[in-house]
Amino acid sequence: MGLPFFEIKSSRKLENAIFISILLFLFKIIYPSFTSFFGIVINELLIFSVMYFWMLYAIDFIHSKSPAPLSVVLNSGILNALIFFIISLSSSLFSELSDLGSSTNFVYSIFTTFIAFVFIGSVIYIISAFRELFYLRQQRDPSTYFNTMLVFFGLTFVSNLFTRLDPSLDYLKNSFYVVSIVLISFNSLRVAWIAFLVKKQKVYLLIISIVLSILFGFNFALTLESNIVQQLIMNFSPGLHTILNLVMIYGTIYFGVIFFTALFHLPTAEAFDRKAEEVASLMDLSKLITQVFDFKELADTVTAITTKVCNSDSAWLVTHKDGNYELSSINNIGYVEAEKITNSLLVESAYQIDEVRTINDHPIKIRIKTDIRTFNYKSVAIAPLKVHNETNGFLFAARKHNFVFDDDDKKAVGAFADYAAVALENAKHIEESLEKERLEKELDVAREIQYKILPTETPILKNMEISALFVPAFEVGGDYYDFFELRNNKLGFVVADVSGKGISAAFIMAEVKGIFESLAKLIESPKELLITANEILKNSLEKKSFVTAIYGIVDTETGSLNFARVGHTPLLHIHGNRVEQLTPPGIGLGLDFGPNFSNNIVEKEIQLNNDDIVVLYTDGITESLNGSYEEYGYGRFEKTLLENSRKSLIDLSNEVMKSLTVFSQDASQHDDITLVLFKWHFNK
């Protein structure tokens, strides 16, 4: 049920109200008193409209501020006190007027109108305030009940006219009046909002409501007995007087009901507050879980909330990490203390805490350095942080005094522990995925470095064919090969393997490339070159890193090949149907920086004949694994080389690769594969 003009804009309501008020004011100035019935009808209708439009505006006004219920109560109380003050003051200052009909002077009109407007304003505000309270915390739209009551207020207002017309019609006014009071009593029962106040507010409301109920009662009585204000209002508008009457009754009943409701709510107020706080905390927590990636921050919130909501003296959270329990957050307790108590309690319960448990009246003895202290906790609640049936930690709440934790407390601690468990799991997943992402980015960088370091093409020579095959592993393996064109038709070459993987291997590779590139032009002996390279690497290589390499020089005119090997796989020399493994002594670069390195390196020279093939490779080939962790091995490699040695170098490389792929099948390639081949073609 909607009231007329209710839907129009708030500013229009104000304009209407002001306009009609001015109209009423002018009317009252011009006709301060009248005797004709018609005059009275106009007068009453004007006043009714003024009240109605001001009410419409007041409802909007109060609602738009959405004030706290207590301040609405207080405001209506203040206006009520104002009415009381005006009535009492005027009746003590002025005696009753004997004849109102003759008092028609201008000053009197202004005074009456002013008083009447103050009363209209107060009554309207109080009705609107009650309406605001009436609508608070209602599940269904209760407007029908309230509007029906307002309609009866209106009917009572208008029925005054009938009484004026014919005193025998008095029963009409009386019956509307009674129905209004019944509706008032009925509507006064809607006080659900009281339940949602916190305890302190309820106590406050209890006091205010009894005072206001009595004050409204006084005012009601004052409007009935004859005094100057009652006379003025009656003279101004009998309808206004009736409404004033009704509002005072409404106030008396309503605040009476509020008083008793608040009174009955008081004993449960604390429990209600706690539940409300618990619900609010859980809501905050679930919001936090999705927003906070930092577990520490969340753990702090959980312990703080646990202390507060569960009414405990302290709370702390331990999480499982690397086989131990470590404190993630403490609230209101010392770090050492919490740690010791945790250990003592967990050891006692043998870590078997599957659900929330309380330990009551149990003194806990702990030793801090040489000082043995006993903590007398009244009650300690322990809740496991469980996700997928796995306990990742425990939430502790402890009370020193007061009462032991009851079932509700246990449930609350359990609920907070569950949230912490989920958050912990989330934080872990996020950290893992960040770490993975970081590693992948790092590997991208490493691969890029490697591609920039390796030669883009192989040298083209008159007497020697060269092919190079490089297959990177997912985690960059650190293989490096290169060719250097030297003076007197000589070609320097290097194949190296840096230990380790990823970006660190890639950086060492870059350094190794720099060393070989510069030394190749300066030193003509492979052995001396490698000794120098080892000395340079001494300053930059980590203790656990090393580099294996073969460095050699081929004379492209004569086919003589001179090389040295440091820790690297053998150089293979295929001639005819034979594969010769050449493994001259030499320890890897970085294994030793003293005389052990230079004393144990031997240079070897071979002579290449027509169709001879030189094979340089890294252990990525021979150490390729298949699904059952079996190595490809040197045997298979040699067999494949021999079977295909008549083919072109490119085909030979492809055959090796094919054989490797067939062998390892679906097992992933875990190291870089490098295969560099030379074939000597003299006089062809």
Q: Residue numbers of the site for another protein (CB under 8 A)?
A: 475, 497, 499-501, 542-546, 548, 566-570, 583, 585-588, 590-592, 596, 600, 623, 625, 629, 631, 670-671
Q: How far is the CB of 634 from another protein (least distance, A)?
A: 9
User: Rounded CA gap, 657 and 636, in Å?
Assistant: 12
Q: How far is the CB of 574 from another protein (least distance, A)?
A: 20
Question: In terms of CB distance, is 234 or 625 closer to another protein?
Answer: 625
Q: How far is the CB of 583 from another protein (least distance, A)?
A: 7
Question: In terms of CB distance, is 214 or 667 closer to another protein?
Answer: 667
Question: In terms of CB distance, is 9 or 543 closer to another protein?
Answer: 543
Measure Cα distances from 151 to 4, 146, 147, 346 in Å. Answer: 11, 9, 6, 70
Q: How far is the CB of 581 from another protein (least distance, A)?
A: 11
End-to-end CA distance of the chain: 110
Angle between helices 228-236 and 106-135 (to 10 degrees): 90
Question: In terms of CB distance, is 409 or 671 closer to another protein?
Answer: 671
Backbone angles phi, psi at 367, to 5 degrees: -115, 120
Task: Output 196-201 pairs: Cβ under 8 A, ≥24 positions apart.
Answer: 196/137, 196/276, 197/69, 197/70, 197/269, 198/269, 198/273, 198/276, 199/266, 199/269, 199/270, 199/273, 201/70
DSSP three-state, residue 470? strand
Question: In terms of CB distance, is 39 or 585 closer to another protein?
Answer: 585
DSSP codes joined into one string, 250-299 = HHHHHHHHHHHHHHHHHHHHHHHHHHHHHHHHHHHHHHHHHH---HHHHH
Question: In terms of CB distance, is 518 or 622 closer to another protein?
Answer: 622
Write the DSSP symbol of residue 617.
E
User: Rounded CA gap, 638 and 622, in Å?
Assistant: 10
Structure tokens, 96? 């009753």
Question: In terms of CB distance, is 67 or 570 closer to another protein?
Answer: 570
DSSP three-state, residue 245? helix
DSSP three-state, residue 9? coil
Q: How far is the CB of 478 from another protein (least distance, A)?
A: 8
Q: How far is the CB of 497 from another protein (least distance, A)?
A: 7
Question: In terms of CB distance, is 490 or 501 closer to another protein?
Answer: 501
Q: How far is the CB of 306 from another protein (least distance, A)?
A: 36
Question: In terms of CB distance, is 239 or 477 closer to another protein?
Answer: 477
Please choose, from the candidates 549, 609, 544, the residue with its C-alpha nearest in 3D space to the C-alpha of residue 573: 609
Phi-psi region of 146 (alpha: psi -120 to 50; beta: other; left: phi over 0): alpha
Q: How far is the CB of 642 from another protein (least distance, A)?
A: 21
Q: How far is the CB of 644 from another protein (least distance, A)?
A: 25
